[in-house]
Amino acid sequence: MEVFPRKFQKNLSDSHEFSQELGFSLDQIIIDSFERTYDSIEKGFLKIARKAKSMGLLKTGTVGTCALTIFVQDNKLYVASNGECKGFLCSLDKEGHKNCSKINKKLKKALGKEEEKQNVIFEVDSKKKLRKMKKNKIFYLENNLQSARGFGDFSLKYPEFYEEKDAEFNGPKITHRPEIKIMELNENDKFLILGSDGVWEMVKKENLEGILEKSFEDIYTIAENIYNFAFMEICEKNGQIYLKKKKNIYVLFLILGIEKEELLNKGLGEERRKYHNDISLMVVDLKNQFR
């Protein structure tokens, strides 16, 4: 999202100007800049959704996205996230030991700590706003949304977008405001890996560690290896066997896997989403950051 860095830079400049007079610390200035930028992005999405709704395009009220953003200043890493994206800080010590640690947590509604935060934000008992799927005991909001935060999904935030019949709007149920974390960097920290849920649904931490065993130096090779691994998993997982009951008879179904080239030819949008969630991946070099 090219607009985010521009808005953040402007907010950072504005915050620094008035915060100096109030004696705010650099940490407070950067946190304020993150929050103002997330507010601005949300307002932009809301403006588009309202315009679309006035044209009869109601689906814009039921779609959304999330973000994981970072800012590095000297030896500090600032992390802001509002959804299911995830990032790792990858380090290499003098003995050659490699380590990948999470820089943020997925913000799901069913998690206890996030539940408490939502209660404070909305001043309500947000547990009443969850529904649980019987088969897998997973907590969902309306629109089959698990994330507790994110941009858009205005049918969960504003009554004007609420379309459920015979039900009263009792939102807001999610917020766009990010959770912000500050971490200290050191000379062992080599790079950051940031990815959307489409990446981490396919690449588990043990997979990532295996990928990094093969290459830990070149960030472009690392990004390519993660991407290729995710795509191979997608192709393989779209081949499966399952049983389905039809008129008291169980029928065995076999679905063959899909080739990578065939999947890529399907193009972006709803057709590809039948096979996997959107994939966004970034590897950030930190080798020359430590001072």
Domain with 37 in it: what CATH number? 3.60.40.10
Structure confidence at residue 77 (pLDDT): 94
Q: Rounded to 5 degrees, what are φ and ψ at 65?
A: -155, 175
- How many angstroms separate the CA atoms of 197 and 281, rounded? 10
Neighbours of 132 (CB within 10 A): 11
Structure confidence at residue 22 (pLDDT): 63
Task: Give the tokens for residue 163.
Answer: 């379309």
Collapsed DSSP state (helix, strand, coil) of residue 289 = coil
- Domain presence at residue 207: yes
Last residue of a domain, one of 123, 158, 192: 192
The angle at the Cα of 286, spanning 282 to 291, to the nearest 5 degrees, equals 155
- How many angstroms separate the CA atoms of 238 and 259, rounded? 10
Spatial contact of 149 and 35, defined as CB atoms under 8 Å apart: no
Structure confidence at residue 242 (pLDDT): 46
By residue range, what is the domain housing residue 255?
A: 202-275
Q: Which long-range contacts (CB under 8 A, 24 or more apart) does 39-46 make?
A: 39/176, 39/177, 40/7, 40/11, 41/1, 41/3, 41/4, 41/7, 41/67, 41/151, 41/176, 42/151, 42/152, 42/176, 44/3, 45/151, 45/152, 45/154, 46/154, 46/158
- Domain presence at residue 287: no
Neighbours of 68 (CB within 10 A): 21
- How many angstroms separate the CA atoms of 81 and 104, rounded? 7
Q: What is the pLDDT along the chain (291 residues), one digit of tens a residue?
A: 567 777 777 777 776 665 666 667 888 889 999 999 999 999 999 999 999 999 988 888 888 888 999 999 888 999 999 888 999 999 988 888 888 999 998 766 544 555 555 554 554 444 445 444 444 444 455 555 667 788 998 988 888 888 776 677 777 878 899 999 999 999 899 999 999 888 898 899 899 999 998 888 889 999 999 988 888 887 776 655 444 555 555 544 444 456 666 666 666 667 666 666 778 899 999 987 766
Structure confidence at residue 116 (pLDDT): 52
Query: Are 15 and 33 in the same domain?
Result: yes
Query: Are 134 and 271 in the same domain?
Result: no
- Domain presence at residue 128: yes
Query: Are 163 and 24 in the same domain?
Result: yes
Query: Are 126 and 13 in the same domain?
Result: yes
- How many angstroms separate the CA atoms of 213 and 106, rounded? 25
Structure confidence at residue 243 (pLDDT): 46
- Domain presence at residue 18: yes
Query: Are 72 and 135 in the same domain?
Result: yes
Query: Are 175 and 209 in the same domain?
Result: no
Structure confidence at residue 174 (pLDDT): 83
- Domain presence at residue 281: no
- Domain presence at residue 239: yes
Structure confidence at residue 91 (pLDDT): 92
Spatial contact of 100 and 212, defined as CB atoms under 8 Å apart: yes
Query: Are 131 and 82 in the same domain?
Result: yes
- Domain presence at residue 291: no
Structure confidence at residue 258 (pLDDT): 61
Structure confidence at residue 184 (pLDDT): 93
* Total number of domains constituting the chain: 2
Query: Are 11 and 142 in the same domain?
Result: yes
Query: Are 104 and 59 in the same domain?
Result: yes
Query: Are 116 and 176 in the same domain?
Result: yes
- Domain presence at residue 10: yes
Query: Are 57 and 188 in the same domain?
Result: yes
Residue located via tokens 């698990």: 146
